[in-house]
């Protein structure tokens, strides 16, 4: 069985309120990303979703093969959904509460990109270790 064998019909989700509208918005943003390279985000915490709608969205998008976990001040979990370029990104505070829940449309979520200052610092440390 491959990911192509897994299908959820959007018509099955019409009874779940806003899920159909959000899935259409994600598809539109994915089309724009493909055409222009412009990434975008949807802040799920800003949407008036019921727990049932939230779970319906999670089921509809599914979980793909790529995931990452960041261990910083508060942890972050990221995974690509069944749809390449559509990422579910969740950030937690130190108590483990969800502080941000996002759908990110991008090749790679922004938080995984190295910041230029961090890259420069890494180079300096590597050069120092090498005695350069």
pLDDT at 16: 57
Task: Report pTM.
Answer: 0.80
Domains and CATH numbers, the chain: 3-129 (3.30.1370.140)
Please state, in angstroms and rounded to a whole number, the distance separating the CA atoms of residues 103 and 85: 10
pLDDT at 17: 66
Q: What is the DSSP string of the chain?
A: --GGG----GGGGGGGTTHHHHHHHHHHHHHHHHHH---EEEEGGGS---HHHHHHHHHHH---S-EEEE-SSS-EEEEE-SSTTEEEEEEE-TTS-EEEEEEEESSS-GGGSPPHHHHHHHHHHHHHHTT-
Lowest mean pLDDT among 4-18, 30-44, 53-67, 81-95: 4-18
- Over residues 28-61, the pLDDT tens digits come to 999 999 999 999 999 999 998 899 999 999 999 9
pLDDT at 115: 87
């Amino acid at each position: 069985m491959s990911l192509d064998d897994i299908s959820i019909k959007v018509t099955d989700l019409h009874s779940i309120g806003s899920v159909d509208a959000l899935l259409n918005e994600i598809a539109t943003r994915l089309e724009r990303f493909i055409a222009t390279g412009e990434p975008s985000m949807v802040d799920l915490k800003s949407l008036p979703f019921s727990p049932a709608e939230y779970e319906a969205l999670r089921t509809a998008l599914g979980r793909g093969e790529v995931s990452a976990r960041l261990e910083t001040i508060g942890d972050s979990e990221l995974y690509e959904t069944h749809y390449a370029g559509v990422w579910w990104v969740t950030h937690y505070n130190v108590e483990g509460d969800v502080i941000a829940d996002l759908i990110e449309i991008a090749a790679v979520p922004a938080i995984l990109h190295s910041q230029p200052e961090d890259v420069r610092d890494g180079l300096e440390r590597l050069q120092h270790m090498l005695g350069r």
